[in-house]
Each structure stands twice: as structure tokens, then as C-alpha cells.
Amino acid sequence: MSNNDKKVILTGIRANNDLHIGNYFGALLPMVDMAKKHAGEYQINMFVPDLHSFTTPIDHRKLQEQIMRGLKIFVAAGLPLDDDNVHIYRQSYVPAHSELTIILNSFAGFGEMSRMTQFKDKSAKLGGERVSVGLFDYPVLMSADILLHGAEYIPVGDDQSQHLEFTRNIAERMNNKFGDIFVVPKTVKEQHALFNKDQGLRIKDLSDPTKKMSKSDDSGKGIIFMGDDPAAAAKKIMGATTDNEAAVQIDSVKQPGVTNLLQILSLLNKETLNETAARYKDATSYGELKKDVAGKVQEFLTNFQQKLATVDEANLIQKLESSEKLMNQTANQTLLKVQKAVGIR
């Protein structure tokens, strides 16, 4: 299980993506809140999946800088580094992840990997570029990440549910063949029950509010990055797409742009969407709403970037190194059991 016999919750911190406010409110903040909420009862393993980061093409010269920036963003968002139940580590600093992947490959089926929806989607997006074996093999490495540390709970999005089911399958397959060597993660349904998964507010693109905010927006006008100049971000809000309905109300079909602005404001104000909308029930234009959202976004980014600038890097590295020492001990214990089971030790 884990060194302190607490059940393990494992989650990954993106290594190489520019985070935007959609990532912040939709994934990063819930992850930090989850760590704070469950750290007393569970061991929280939060790792940087740096080996996963180049299964599709990246600029490798920027990877180290992006890893550290991503970790600092989590600290600035409130990740408690002083909690002994919270561990942060880099995947590649625990070599057992790589070795267990090689072993598991011989027990994973080509057909299983070929059916993975995320592989099909990401392969299609690469167009004429080479599709790497690493991308094809992604679910096996993800399984190694989970199984090495005996993680029962892994808060994954819908796009990763298939990978989690594969992890359960290969763990049971190995246990049936070799005896009890792996802790089998809980089902997707049980995961959702613990994390109270709700399909809540999803921030949309400012230019095209029918699609989610994504870094693939080439113009940059529809996306607000965490590193954007706060004043420039406010201008993006003022230029956001709305409509001609002349009413401020929640209607994601007829008024997706207005609904998106209300969602952003409700998240920044830490209130319900209905509470936010109620303040504009008599409005017949969107000027006041845009001005309020723009001001809040500017204030939020200014405050967050100030926090980010004061993150103690030495303290962060010390936490990384102590966590990685502990994670290597746990992972190596599991790896040795597998090595003995398959006959190479």
C-alpha cells in the first residue's frame, strides 16, 4: 500500500502545458482542494508525468523550465508542502516507473492499446507527423504509475476512464497469474463517489463560447493564460463574443457567451452561477457584466502572479527530493515483487 499504511490517492501535475484559467478552475484548484481535504485520511501522491510529456512532439529545451513553473503554480494555488501526507515527485526520478512499464508491456495486448479512444484522437490530430510508440503505450506507463504505489484512488477525467479500466484489468490479470502483487484501483464509479465528481462549470473560449477554452486557439483572443498580462487579459474579456438578446441570463444554447462570462465571474467570486446571474436580472446590455468580469480577472491574475513570484524554489526542491526518496523506496518494493514473480530476480 504505502509507507504509512494509508490508502493512496494519486494524481498527475501537467509538465509542459501553458495553464489557462480553464485549467486552473477546472483541474488545478480542485486538485489542490482534494489534497487539503483528504491528506489527513489518505496519502496524497502528486507527481509530474514528465515521461508522458513528450509522447507527442514538444520543445524539449523548455521542458525543465515548464516542469518547475507548473509545480510553482500548484504551490501558489495553495498546495500544502508542509503536510507530511502530501508528496510531490517527478516521474522520471523514480526509475521503477520505466522498468515496470517494460514488464507490463509483455502482458498488455496490442488490440487493447489499439482500442484506446485517446490514442485514436491524439493520433488523428498529429496529421502527417509521426505517431510515437510512446503515445500508443501511454496507458501502460500510466498503469505503472498507479500500480507501483498501490494507489486505489485516481481522480481522472472522462478521457482517462478507459485507461483506468485497463489498469484494473492488467492488475487483475497479473494477480491471477502470479498471486497478489498489485493493489487493484477502485472502479470509475467508486472514484467518482469519493471525489464527488460533478460536471460543473467549464470555462469556454471567449471568441467561440460553443467550445471549451483550449491552448489550441491560434489567435489567442479566446484564451486567458495564467501568465497573461492582467490588463491584456481584461481587454480579452471586453472583446468576448456575446449576442443580441439584450438580456443577461443563463442559457448555454441561446446565450453561450453571456453564460460563459457569468460562469467566470461566479468562479472568481466563489458563488453559485444563479447568485451571480441574479445581480444582472434587470440588465439590457452587456457592458456592465463585461466590465465586472474584466476587473475581477485582472485582479485575480495580478494577485496570483504576485504569489507565484514569491514561491520559495529552495523549499520546493527540498520537498521534491524528500518525496522522491520515499517514492523510490515504495516503488522499488513493488517492482521487486514483480521481478521475482516473472522470474528475473
| Residue 306 reports pLDDT greater than 90 | yes
> What's residue 199's pLDDT?
45
Q: Distance between CA atoms of 115 and 88, rounded to whole angstroms?
A: 32
> What's residue 291's pLDDT?
97
The dihedral built from the CA positions of residue 185, 188, 191 and 195, taken in this order, carries a sign that is: positive
Which domains does the chain show, CATH number per domain?
8-199+313-342 (3.40.50.620)
Report the percentage of the chain scoring pLDDT > 70. Answer: 96
> What's residue 220's pLDDT?
78
> What's residue 197's pLDDT?
60
Which residues have CB under 8 Å from 279's CB, separation 6+?
A: none
Give me the amino acid identity at 227: G
Residue of 32, 25, 26 lying closest to 71 (CA atoms): 32
Tell me the mean pLDDT in the region 272-292.
94
Is residue 236 annotated as a catalytic residue, yes or no? no
User: Catalytic: which of 215, 221, 307, 337?
Assistant: 215
Instruction: Count the Cβ atoms, other than its own, within 10 Å of residue 98.
Output: 13
Give me the amino acid identity at 255: Q
Q: Which residue has cell 491524439? A: 122
Instruction: Count the Cβ atoms, other than its own, within 10 Å of residue 69.
Output: 18
Backbone dihedral angles phi then psi of residue 187, each to the nearest 5 degrees: -65, 165
Chain centre distance of CA 335: 26
Which residues have CB under 8 Å from 124's CB, separation 6+?
A: none
Average pLDDT, the chain: 92
Q: Distance between CA atoms of 337 and 277, rounded to whole angstroms?
A: 57
User: Catalytic: which of 6, 7, 122, 337?
Assistant: 122
* pLDDT tens-digit map of 120-177: 988 888 887 889 999 999 999 999 999 999 999 998 877 788 999 999 999 999 999 9
This prediction has a pTM of 0.87
Q: Distance between CA atoms of 303 and 137, rounded to whole angstroms?
A: 40
Is residue 215 annotated as a catalytic residue, yes or no? yes
Residue of 195, 194, 172 lying closest to 183 (CA atoms): 172
Which residues have CB under 8 Å from 200's CB, separation 6+?
A: none
Residue of 194, 303, 215, 258 lying closest to 16 (CA atoms): 215
Is residue 62 annotated as a catalytic residue, yes or no? no
The dihedral built from the CA positions of residue 71, 74, 80 and 85, taken in this order, carries a sign that is: negative
* pLDDT tens-digit map of 7-51: 999 998 877 667 899 989 988 888 899 899 898 899 999 999 999
User: Catalytic: which of 62, 125, 177, 212?
Assistant: 212
